Copies of this chain bind each other. A is one copy, B any other.
Amino acid sequence: MAGRPAVPEVIWARPERTGRGPRPAHSRADIAAAAVRVADAEGVDAVSMRKIAAELDMGTMSLYNYVPRKEDLYELMIDAVSGEYAYPEPTGDWREDVLSLARQTRALMHRHPWMPRLMSPVYGFSPNALTYLEYCLSCLDPLERPYGAKMELIAAVTSVVTTYVANEIATGERTRSLPWSAEQEQAVRIAYLGGQVASGRYPRLAAAFSEDSGPIDLEAVFERALRRVVEGFVAAG
């Protein structure tokens, strides 16, 4: 707490190149790309200052010339993958536009499963975040509401997308985690959860778990949740 900067420092506020001194041998884009590559391949916990520096054939401490704190490296990563969005011309149907943007976000997060974790909880104001927000707002042009309300809609959609996809990813990782598959998963669920639930203390929960609903279609769940958020915005003003 003592050594905190007296003024908030945002990496986007510092110029990538000042003109003085030797030319930097690397660019922010290179650094971000290296970090994204490592995170995609080995998980976000494998992203360390040492490792990214090594990846770029530079000394560990040299990286600190570009990225003052590790947290800023995360910001670079988020900004980099945010550049993968496609921004088609809005159709005029804001609901559809918002939904398809959300679907893009979902795909993006599945491509980079570390995203939800690093985005918690704020989206920040990186260059690509600004572009993204501007595009969201342009999709909402047909909606006659103050910008404040539009921002709240965007926040609600982002919230639900992030949480749901984070859940999908977590579930997927647990399932794929190791040789124990559906069988053992069931075994464990019976062993503990089943034991608790069958104790009679949680009758509704027991009913919910035994309610046979066929295999869960995650995509359908996602779509429903999204549609509810959008319709809720229309319905509840």
| Alpha-carbon distance A170/B30, docked complex (angstroms) | 29
| Alpha-carbon distance A177/B8, docked complex (angstroms) | 9
Is A6 in contact with B180, judged by CB distance below 8 angstroms?
Answer: yes
Contacts of A92 in B (CB 8 A): none
A51 at the B interface (CB under 8 A): no
Among B7, B167, B192, B202, the residue within 8 A (CB) of A122 is: B167
Tell me the minimal C-beta distance from A105 to chain B in angstroms. 14
Contacts known (A147-B204, A225-B156, A232-B231); A170 close to B122, Cβ less than 8 A: yes
A192-211 residues with Cβ-Cβ distance < 8 A to B are 192-193, 196-197, 201-205, 207-208, 211
Among B8, B121, B148, B196, the residue within 8 A (CB) of A163 is: B121
- The interface-forming segment of A17-25, A54-62, A129-137 is A129-137
A65 at the B interface (CB under 8 A): no
A72-109 residues with Cβ-Cβ distance < 8 A to B are none
Is A180 in contact with B7, judged by CB distance below 8 angstroms?
Answer: yes
Tell me the minimal C-beta distance from A178 to chain B in angstroms. 5
Stoichiometry, copies per complex: 2
Tell me the minimal C-beta distance from A205 to chain B in angstroms. 5
Contacts known (A116-B121, A205-B137); A7 close to B188, Cβ less than 8 A: yes
Is A146 in contact with B211, judged by CB distance below 8 angstroms?
Answer: yes
For this complex, 13 residue pairs linking A to B, each with C-beta atoms less than 8 Å apart, are: A10-B188, A13-B192, A122-B170, A125-B196, A141-B204, A152-B221, A155-B163, A156-B225, A156-B229, A228-B229, A228-B235, A232-B233, A232-B235
Tell me the minimal C-beta distance from A146 to chain B in angstroms. 6
Tell me the minimal C-beta distance from A27 to chain B in angstroms. 19
Contacts known (A7-B180, A205-B130); A227 close to B231, Cβ less than 8 A: no
Contacts of A231 in B (CB 8 A): 231-232, 235-236
| Alpha-carbon distance A153/B133, docked complex (angstroms) | 27
Contacts of A197 in B (CB 8 A): 130
Among B137, B178, B228, the residue within 8 A (CB) of A208 is: B137
